[in-house]
């Protein structure tokens, strides 16, 4: 057990005559082992100690105005003995040391010390060089050679735990608290540790943290990391799962699982603040002001569905409902209106901003009763009355100009060249053309669809001797690419329409409403009685709902979030409630895939569940 001292304080009165400033002070003669002290203090450390509990600390000097008369005191490393003489400290009578493996030492060395934190196997000091000063002797009970003090008891070297002050020996992986000053405000991720796999070492005791020098200090003594105004320090500045910059306002924050090893310490904006363009943290209101483009100002109440500031409403008024909710945002400043490209322009430039070359602005484009597009030339024209309430302003082609495919307004004489591409001709009824029309129909039967005149639409078709290839370009019939061969089992060539689609495991039982005037193409389709599965193979329909992999079962609604992976056992995923699902093979309950495209395994075979109590219990059974 450690030794405990019970100290009885006694008052020793030192009677000295304090001289007035006008008195003559006679300095007393001092012996060879003494020196004159002009401001003496009667201190316990000036006397030979009589027990291990005697106070040997230095005593503070009084203020010069309160100094007593000069007196003789023992020289350095001398102590006053019981007979009043000064003797070398090393010659002070020894006192009892009753602890195990202890002995009296009149002048213990600085190195080696007696603490286990300084323990050496051979009991010698391993410091290189010498200390250039003479240290004061302080008689004490010290551990015998090859013994070191731990928790007040002298123990052999092999029993020492050599942790420095304010540290303790513990399982390092099992610590679930900050260990460094820079981690003081951080969230610490705790992990389950198998006691047999613990690595033991020295860690700061509870209430202590390691400073930048590696020393464990009280956590309230940790230095404050200087961060600019509206910022605070964190040990993982790059792992924040929130908006950090003004430019991210209004965007969703994507949170990803990140290893703590990738964390970097630094300063981040406080709550309610974001980083601006100049790098400072500003309030969200200031962010909005910074983000407003040229000719726009920040508004605390903007009606998003009110378009009265657009250029098109310069020529006709629009009133915004007073009960429409408003939001913060940017609006055009006074004297400016929003153009079609979204920028705010001088309202005097609105018409030039609204309309392109050979266009004019009309306050009611529905009231125009004339052919407007090159593609409508030769077709019928019907005009209807329009009320002012239905009117919408916009740009139309000027008289004798027509809208081309590229949305520009061109002359009538340029329309024919604009309508069709190379090796094409313009016809009044595309649907009425006799096939084949495409390369995929090249070897199919000739057919001429019956089309109601009302359904006719003018357009371009390949000229005689040309067919459309897969890219939509008209090529010579002999230059059509060869059709792909059907090499998979239970497949054959057939001329089919796009609608209804080929029968598959997914679309079984679905009814399709298809138009009559569809083109037909030669494709590889499944034989009768066979349907196409997810692997693009033709299988018998009754095999659609069978799953061949172990620990799988068929489900009518298989979702991709959360994934069927082992990581889903411990990770959280932000899945949408309305995420679409489809039929397919999925892992049975309690089974997961270690990686994509691997077999389903029981949860306890996942790496993430290794060592957990429930899985250990399963293994033991």
440, 523 in Cβ contact below 8 A?
Answer: yes
Identify the pLDDT of residue 96.
93
Identify the pLDDT of residue 14.
38
Identify the pLDDT of residue 9.
37
The arithmetic mean of pLDDT across residues 381-387, rounded, is 78
> Any idea what DSSP says for residue 521?
E
- Note whether 69 and 22 are same-domain residues: yes
Identify the pLDDT of residue 485.
77
119 assigned to some structural domain? yes
The arithmetic mean of pLDDT across residues 438-465, rounded, is 78
The yes-or-no verdict on residue 531 having pLDDT over 70 is: yes
User: Which residues face 481 on adjacent strands?
Assistant: none
178 assigned to some structural domain? no
- Note whether 315 and 392 are same-domain residues: no
Of 144, 159, 174, the residue at which a domain comes to its end is: 159
- Note whether 15 and 151 are same-domain residues: yes
The arithmetic mean of pLDDT across residues 400-413, rounded, is 87
Identify the pLDDT of residue 36.
93
The yes-or-no verdict on residue 72 having pLDDT over 60 is: yes
* Banded pLDDT at 124 (limits 50, 70, 90): confident
- Note whether 529 and 565 are same-domain residues: no
* Banded pLDDT at 13 (limits 50, 70, 90): very low
184 assigned to some structural domain? no
The arithmetic mean of pLDDT across residues 244-269, rounded, is 72
Percent of the chain with pLDDT over 70: 86
User: Which is more confidently placed, 99 or 189?
Assistant: 99
The arithmetic mean of pLDDT across residues 596-613, rounded, is 88
- Note whether 515 and 556 are same-domain residues: no
Identify the pLDDT of residue 18.
40
410, 459 in Cβ contact below 8 A?
Answer: no
User: Which is more confidently placed, 303 or 229?
Assistant: 229
Q: CA-to-CA distance for 604 and 621, rounded, in angstroms?
A: 13
Least confident span in 144-148, 326-330, 473-477: 326-330
User: Which is more confidently placed, 566 or 534?
Assistant: 566
21 assigned to some structural domain? yes
Identify the pLDDT of residue 208.
93
User: Which is more confidently placed, 263 or 244?
Assistant: 244
Q: How many structural domains are present in the chain?
A: 5
The yes-or-no verdict on residue 198 having pLDDT over 70 is: no
Q: CA-to-CA distance for 81 and 31, rounded, in angstroms?
A: 14
Encoding tokens for residue 524?
């590889």
439, 482 in Cβ contact below 8 A?
Answer: no
Helices (H), 102-158: none
- Note whether 375 and 322 are same-domain residues: no
Angle at 546 between CA 540 and CA 551, to 5 degrees: 160
- Note whether 571 and 470 are same-domain residues: no
Of 111, 132, 159, the residue at which a domain comes to its end is: 159
- Note whether 473 and 493 are same-domain residues: no
* Banded pLDDT at 299 (limits 50, 70, 90): confident
Backbone φ, ψ for residue 527 (5° rounding): -65, 165
Percent of the chain with pLDDT over 90: 15
107 assigned to some structural domain? yes
pLDDT in tens, 140-155: 999 999 998 877 889 8
Nearest to 358 by CA among 389, 320, 300, 400: 400
Nearest to 185 by CA among 177, 196, 193, 194: 177
Range of the domain at 567: 551-621
* Banded pLDDT at 19 (limits 50, 70, 90): very low
CA atoms within 13 A on the CB side of 310: 19
Identify the pLDDT of residue 130.
64
The yes-or-no verdict on residue 618 having pLDDT over 70 is: no
576, 528 in Cβ contact below 8 A?
Answer: no
CATH number for 299: 2.10.25.10
- Note whether 530 and 440 are same-domain residues: no
The arithmetic mean of pLDDT across residues 379-396, rounded, is 78
Identify the pLDDT of residue 7.
42
Of 426, 448, 479, the residue at which a domain comes to its end is: 479
Identify the pLDDT of residue 46.
92
- What is the DSSP pairing of strand 459-462 with strand 466-468? unpaired
The yes-or-no verdict on residue 24 having pLDDT over 70 is: no
242 assigned to some structural domain? no
- Note whether 495 and 587 are same-domain residues: no
The arithmetic mean of pLDDT across residues 263-269, rounded, is 81
Identify the pLDDT of residue 23.
47
44 assigned to some structural domain? yes
The yes-or-no verdict on residue 535 having pLDDT over 90 is: no
Q: CA-to-CA distance for 121 and 595, rounded, in angstroms?
A: 52
User: Which residues face 338 on adjacent strands?
Assistant: 310, 344
269 assigned to some structural domain? no
DSSP secondary structure of 286-311: HHHHHH--TTEEEEEEE-TT--TTBG
- Note whether 153 and 104 are same-domain residues: yes
The yes-or-no verdict on residue 242 having pLDDT over 50 is: yes
Residues 6+ apart with CB under 8 A from 503: 526, 531, 532
- Note whether 7 and 133 are same-domain residues: yes
Cis-peptide into 282, omega within 30 deg? no
Q: Is the pTM of this model over 0.85?
A: no
Average pLDDT, the chain: 81
């Amino acid at each position: 057990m450690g030794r405990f001292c019970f100290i009885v304080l006694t008052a020793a009165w030192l009677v000295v005559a304090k001289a007035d400033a006008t008195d003559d002070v006679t300095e007393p003669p001092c012996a060879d082992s003494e020196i004159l002290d002009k401001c003496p203090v009667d201190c316990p450390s000036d006397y030979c100690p009589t027990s291990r509990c005697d106070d040997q600390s230095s005593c503070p000097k009084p203020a010069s105005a309160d100094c007593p008369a000069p007196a003789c005191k023992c020289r350095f490393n001398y102590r006053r003995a019981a007979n009043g003489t000064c003797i070398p400290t090393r010659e002070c009578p020894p006192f009892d040391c009753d602890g195990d493996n202890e002995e009296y030492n009149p002048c213990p060395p600085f190195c080696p010390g007696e603490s286990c934190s300084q323990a050496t196997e051979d009991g010698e000091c391993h410091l290189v060089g010498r200390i250039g000063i003479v240290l004061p002797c302080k008689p004490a009970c010290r551990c015998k050679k090859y013994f070191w003090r731990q928790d007040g008891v002298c123990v052999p070297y092999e029993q020492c735990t050599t942790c420095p002050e304010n540290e303790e020996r513990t399982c390092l992986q099992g610590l679930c608290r900050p260990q460094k000053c820079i981690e003081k405000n951080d969230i610490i991720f705790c992990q389950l540790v198998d006691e047999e796999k613990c690595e033991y070492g020295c860690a700061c005791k509870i209430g202590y943290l390691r400073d930048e020098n590696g020393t464990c200090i009280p956590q309230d003594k940790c230095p404050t990391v200087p961060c600019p105004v509206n910022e605070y320090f964190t040990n993982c500045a790059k792992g924040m799962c929130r908006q950090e910059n003004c430019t991210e306002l209004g965007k969703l924050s994507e949170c990803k699982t990140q290893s703590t090893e990738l964390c970097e310490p630094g300063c981040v904006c406080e709550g309610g603040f974001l980083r601006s363009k100049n790098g400072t943290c500003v309030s969200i209101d200031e962010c909005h002001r910074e983000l407003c483009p040229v000719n726009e100002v920040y508004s605390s109440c903007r009606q998003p569905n009110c378009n009265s500031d657009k250029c098109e409403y310069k020529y006709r008024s629009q009133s915004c409902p007073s009960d429409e909710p408003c939001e913060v945002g940017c609006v055009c400043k006074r004297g400016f209106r929003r153009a079609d490209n979204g920028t705010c322009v001088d309202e005097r430039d609105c018409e030039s901003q609204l309309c392109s070359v050979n266009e004019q602005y009309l306050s009611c484009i529905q009231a125009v009763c004339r052919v407007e597009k090159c593609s409508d030339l030769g077709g019928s024209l019907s005009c209807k009355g329009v009320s002012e309430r239905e009117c919408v302003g916009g740009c139309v082609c000027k008289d004798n100009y027509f809208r081309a495919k590229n949305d520009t307004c061109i002359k009538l004489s340029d329309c024919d060249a604009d309508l069709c591409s190379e090796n094409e001709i313009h016809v009044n009824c595309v649907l009425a053309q006799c096939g084949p029309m495409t390369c995929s129909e090249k070897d199919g039967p000739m057919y001429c669809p019956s089309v109601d005149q009302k359904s006719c639409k003018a357009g371009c078709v390949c000229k005689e001797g040309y067919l459309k290839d897969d890219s939509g370009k008209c090529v010579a019939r002999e230059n059509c690419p060869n059709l792909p061969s059907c090499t998979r089992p239970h497949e054959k060539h057939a001329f089919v329409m796009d609608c209804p689609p080929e029968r598959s495991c997914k679309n079984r039982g679905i009814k399709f409403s298809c138009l009559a005037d569809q083109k037909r193409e030669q494709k590889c389709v499944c034989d009768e009685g066979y349907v196409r599965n997810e692997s693009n193979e033709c299988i018998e329909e009754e095999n659609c709902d069978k799953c061949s992999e172990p620990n799988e079962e068929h489900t009518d609604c298989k979702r991709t979030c959360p994934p069927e992976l082992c990581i889903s056992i411990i990770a959280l995923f932000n899945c949408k409630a309305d995420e679409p699902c489809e039929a397919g093979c999925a892992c049975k309950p309690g089974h997961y895939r270690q990686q994509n495209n691997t077999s389903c395994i029981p949860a306890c075979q996942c790496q993430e569940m290794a060592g957990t109590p429930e899985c250990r219990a399963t293994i033991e059974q």
